[in-house]
Amino acid sequence: MQVDVVSAERELFSGEATAVFARSVLGEIGLLRGHQPAVLGLGKAPVRIQDTQGDELHFAVHDGFLECRGDELTVLADIAELAVEIDVERAKEAYARAVRHEQDPEYEGDAAAEKARAQLRLRMAGVEGY
């Protein structure tokens, strides 16, 4: 199936894949060629694509949608990053900043979202303990 992963900034992937695995707001889902049409909301969660060579690409997706139409699947995200491109030090700094902001009522909602983004980035980069 043709798979495209697009963020507000750029296209991260466009190519053939055998399977896509994602965590939608309704739960985990695996999609194969010929899946029933679906539009699913994505929160802050990993997306994994298995390409036709059997290799896997991992993405950190921060809010968006997944649309499946026959043999075409599109992930349209507010923010999306290839796991191998994640800047670990920057993510650690963002996590520390979010933890500090959690104590400040001015940043209440923003701090929780910032912390969730940093945690996902760190998990996708293989960093444990966050």
Residue 129 in any domain: the answer is no
Q: Per residue in 37-90, pLDDT tens?
A: 999 999 999 999 999 999 999 999 999 999 999 899 999 999 999 999 999 999
Per-residue pLDDT tens over the stretch 76-107: 999 999 999 999 999 999 999 999 988 888 87
Select from 41, 61, 57, 47 the least CA-distant residue to 116. Answer: 61
Say if residue 90 is in the same domain as residue 79: no
Same domain, 74 and 11: yes
Tell whether the torsion through CA atoms of 56, 57, 60 and 65 is positive or negative: negative
Residues 77 and 92 in one domain: no
Q: Do the domain assignments include residue 20?
A: yes
Domain total for the chain? 2
Domain that holds residue 115: 86-124
**Region 24-35 average pLDDT:** 92
| Model pTM score | 0.85
Q: Cα separations (Å) of 78 from 3, 32, 35?
A: 17, 24, 24
CATH number at residue 60: 2.60.15.10
Please write down the long-range contacts of 12-16, taking CB distance under 8 Å and 24 or more positions apart. 12/59, 12/80, 12/81, 12/82, 13/49, 13/57, 13/59, 13/82, 15/51, 16/51, 16/52
Are residues 62 and 120 part of one domain?
no
